[in-house]
Structure 1
């Protein structure tokens, strides 16, 4: 957000959505590539207060990626009170990065004297020597002292175990004692705002904040002023830390809790959710924390900030989360990229509570979450049976009106895919196809619309309605080339077009579209559909008898296998068996087909089980066992 005024183009760099998470490093590279292309020449990208990054934070890795591809017209500056992280050593060694340490920043005696002269200070020469010794040439400490210097003698000694923080607190306490009661109260109250507009400061203190903040800024009272879309102010980090500690001593416990909660509410109202949550958590304000989580959960998910949402929910007491279905379902959604099985467990528990409370919207969201995960994992479709039954009941209760179209569209897309994977002969299959068709033309959520068109295309293909599938080609192509779809949607459209090439028997077109889709997947780091996309080329090549091209594709297919996708593994062995049959290696074909059939039965998809049995019958005939065939 802070870089937006510097961008050459209107579009911001991409958001970290779920499909990027498996290849996060590639996303980081492309993010900064896009950002640097859009920043005006001469721009500076500043990482301030880098030392505040928590242990285990990905920020050092992100910074490394930024510096690695830094163009010559952009400068990156990292401000930190700690040493550079280890992964910066190479940049420092090859002079890409210049480390300016404490010794280089501290004023020498001559520089110190020049600064005093420039600032118009009346400090006598002997006092200036003592002040330089006391501050070790640290300019912030010098400014603090001079701010309220009234000619008193400067001490000869420094606090025990001298650090910049110690000396800052020492000087700041001297200054605070000399300010008026009104300004002191203003400083102590606003210390709980990490940054503030005039409006925010006035809401918190009830004082004329514009006048006070501008006066503090003009006096160099460790107040920074930022002129972006709105003018905002921010205390120097050390000064704010000092004021926060003083506030704990100044206000009683009840007043302090009230102050923190009011500050948090103001931050929340001004779209500073993380800062608000941090303040709420300091006083165990679990009620407001829960409200903030529920109001921001969807935004965090849309931004790909799954770990933030998960950490927020984990901050609440267990007794508060275990019986609250919305907290459970949002925790489930946050866990999908990292622990799908736990995500299913949480969403199932949420569904149970929603059903007990007769909460239709909650049931639909938790139901859709479970079904989406089970279809995504492709490890056991038999688990869908109970959810299909529940879905039939929910579908009759769910309205397709404009208010709930996003919810009903997601539900319908998931229901159609669940039926395809588990029960293609279901009596309501046509009903769900028709419902998805109608919803697609009304749905305004791009991600859900892509799911609808993808699942509809698959249903036409698997149910033998090839004319319907092929009639969608021009629409798929227009959507892919519209420039409105994110890379994830473009890859899906490209994959469906490749499958259309298989249907039409246009094998060169299929191979071309597969290459394009894989190139985009490699460029963006989105490899969710790699196995599926490569398999289309394998099917096409085997259908044409192009055995010389199959083996490299099978190697690529093996590399795209995931640990948990049993269905993919079954398909992999099925394709090896088909290839071996065409190559005349019937024994190898029989071995792989046996594995394929076992895996597909374990997964429970009737169509692929049938395909394995058909191929086995053909194999048995070639092996001279017609009775078994």
Structure 2
């Protein structure tokens, strides 16, 4: 399912026949002489269709990046951008991921990432960022745009499609001409273009010049409203829309009129599938119990009825955001709050079974199905953190009711793991809370891991270590629990944590030599790569600064140097090692 998600995110919508707006083609030709073109306009203004038709006629296959709410987590944004680069330079190592050690210098990371990313794209590439506004109102990408767009090679072009105009921090690039813009005034259909659209859609209803002028005045050249109006029955007069109404209100008026004309089967299908950001046929069939799902979606896509077919496959579709917002509003009125939430929860179950964890979590959050969201978090937290999506996991956890957050030791533990390299002092507090709860709730595994997590956080903090005594006191009981768990990977974590605690707080402890030997064994033979290199870094620190055993330190360096150059080695560990 993750592969399907990547295909959706990194592939353009299928091109369907549309009116060729040659008036704007020449403007895009001119704008592409500069590194960045920013096309802005309201939802339903035809931005994506315009770009698809332009590149189709110019014989160019652009690279596509579908921005969505997951990109509000910068780690997710850079992760997926790295996958796009990997598609075009598979022989090169994967691009760096935004791991926590970079979070204190994100602009520097973004600049280096962007330079490396662009260098891997084929010469002549055009990269499209579609629906840029979907990363959210507090979109952290906005602040990085001057960095990401600053060093675009002369052979690469970037096009941004957004409901919003360029942010203020791009003013220098706008002034210099490096960023060219097409805005709502450019995108509005002229009367001539409306006439062409009518003929393209094979409308049997004849339109005089006066009627076309009225259409233009009523819709203000907004193509979403035009499409809906042209779908109306011939015998219906065009209603007068006051100029004071918003475009969204006009769209809702016409969309509702056409929605009421649909049969009950199609209405039910639309209301239920509106909860899905992306619609796979098999998911739609399971959610709606309608085996006619493919025919319904194919028909809507072929009619350009605010339904987009993705990556050239008949199996995946997406409703236009404006249409989906309308359908969700209808679903709330017609299905009611409880049934809509039940549909969202059911859809989440289907997506989760297919491996789409991120969208399943968002649906459960919207449905306020806290028990299922909690279960999802506990099952998938580790894999989410391994991808570096710390902000995503934090968002899920903090969405839960406060009472649920404070009564679950694992939620405290995962919050500690989120913060451990960002704010280790805060992480210690989370691990303390987790450890306290595990003792009350008799959860041996959570107890052991919280103990290890807290000691690791002390090592990251490089601060006051007196309170490590409180954790060392429990060493023997932790060892006894670990033996009962009987998992070599857990035993390795406990041995390493015990070594850290004794090294930083009680280096003359009677068991210090025992744990030094155990850490040597982890470094040389451990199964977990991350633990091995972290242990090697701490062991080198001990040998050179604590024990002064430089002969052993030299052996360690010779043994681990090739491993430390591995791309998977965390930058912070590399920095500590080389320093």
- What TM-score range do you get, normalising by the shorter chain? 0.7 to 0.9
Q: Which residue of 1 aligns with 2:253?
A: 170
More helix as a share of residues:
1
SS of 1:129's equivalent?
helix
Tell me how far 1:176 sits from its aligned partner.
1.1
Match of 1:425 among 491, 500, 508: 508
Contact kept, 8 Å, 1:108 with 1:137, in 2: the verdict is yes
Match of 1:143 among 209, 223, 227: 227
CA distance 1:319–1:400, shift in 2 (3 Å): closer
Q: Which residue of 2 aligns with 1:9?
A: 89
Q: Quick one: distance in 2 between partners of 1:340 and 1:486?
A: 17
Contact kept, 8 Å, 2:103 with 2:422, in 1: the verdict is no
Q: Where do residues 435-474 of structure 1 align in structure 2 (5 Å cutoff)?
A: 435-461=518-544, 462-474=546-558
Matched, 1:183 2:262: no
Matched, 1:342 2:426: yes
1:302-355 deviation digits (Å, cap 9, x = unpaired): 233333322322221221111210011112222335543332222101101112
Matched, 1:242 2:326: yes
Matched, 1:33 2:115: yes
Q: Quick one: distance in 2 between partners of 1:230 and 1:334?
A: 39
Tell me how far 1:195 sits from its aligned partner.
0.7
Q: Quick one: distance in 1 between partners of 2:431 and 2:526?
A: 25
Q: Quick one: distance in 2 between partners of 1:231 and 1:67?
A: 34
SS of 1:382's equivalent?
coil
Q: Which consecutive unaligned segments of at least 5 residues does structure 1 have?
A: 496-532, 534-629
Q: Quick one: distance in 1 between partners of 2:149 and 2:451?
A: 44
Contact kept, 8 Å, 2:297 with 2:317, in 1: the verdict is yes
1:33-84 deviation digits (Å, cap 9, x = unpaired): 2322223334343333333343433110233322112223333222222232
SS of 1:98's equivalent?
strand
Tell me how far 1:400 sits from its aligned partner.
11
SS of 1:79's equivalent?
strand
Q: Quick one: distance in 1 between partners of 2:145 and 2:432?
A: 39
Q: Quick one: distance in 1 between partners of 2:372 and 2:109?
A: 34
CA distance 1:163–1:272, shift in 2 (3 Å): farther
Q: Where do residues 70-89 of structure 1 align in structure 2 (5 Å cutoff)?
A: 70-89=152-171
Contact kept, 8 Å, 1:17 with 1:301, in 2: the verdict is no
Match of 1:215 among 290, 299, 308: 299
Q: Quick one: distance in 1 between partners of 2:212 and 2:248?
A: 21
SS of 1:13's equivalent?
coil
Q: Quick one: distance in 1 between partners of 2:314 and 2:405?
A: 38
Give the TM-score normalised by the residue count of structure 1: 0.73
Worse-matched range after superposition: 188-197 or 483-492 = 483-492
1:527-546 deviation digits (Å, cap 9, x = unpaired): xxxxxx3xxxxxxxxxxxxx
Contact kept, 8 Å, 1:413 with 1:451, in 2: the verdict is no
Q: Quick one: distance in 2 between partners of 1:90 and 1:298?
A: 42
Contact kept, 8 Å, 1:92 with 1:98, in 2: the verdict is yes
Contact kept, 8 Å, 2:448 with 2:481, in 1: the verdict is no
1:62-112 deviation digits (Å, cap 9, x = unpaired): 333221122233332222222322112222222222221111000111222
Contact kept, 8 Å, 2:189 with 2:222, in 1: the verdict is yes
Matched, 1:92 2:174: yes
SS of 2:181's equivalent?
coil
Q: Quick one: distance in 2 between partners of 1:344 and 1:266?
A: 37
Contact kept, 8 Å, 1:406 with 1:448, in 2: the verdict is no
Q: Bigger radius of gyration, 1 or 2?
A: 1
Contact kept, 8 Å, 2:537 with 2:573, in 1: the verdict is no
Q: How many residues align?
A: 493
CA distance 1:383–1:241, shift in 2 (3 Å): same
Q: Which residue of 1 aligns with 2:76?
A: none
* RMSD between aligned residues: 2.5
Contact kept, 8 Å, 1:409 with 1:452, in 2: the verdict is no
CA distance 1:234–1:328, shift in 2 (3 Å): same
Tell me how far 1:161 sits from its aligned partner.
2.6
Structure having greater relative contact order (Cα 8 Å, sep ≥ 6): 2
CA distance 1:484–1:307, shift in 2 (3 Å): closer
Give the TM-score normalised by the residue count of structure 2: 0.79
CA distance 1:198–1:220, shift in 2 (3 Å): same
Tell me how far 1:234 sits from its aligned partner.
0.5
Q: Quick one: distance in 2 between partners of 1:294 and 1:360?
A: 16
Worse-matched range after superposition: 57-66 or 322-331 = 57-66
Tell me how far 1:159 sits from its aligned partner.
4.7
CA distance 1:306–1:173, shift in 2 (3 Å): same
Q: Quick one: distance in 2 between partners of 1:228 and 1:360?
A: 50
Q: Which residue of 1 aligns with 2:42?
A: none
CA distance 1:26–1:50, shift in 2 (3 Å): same
Match of 2:561 among 458, 477, 482: 477
Match of 1:61 among 143, 150, 153: 143
Tell me how far 1:435 sits from its aligned partner.
2.0
Q: Quick one: distance in 1 between partners of 2:206 and 2:476?
A: 84
SS of 2:537's equivalent?
helix
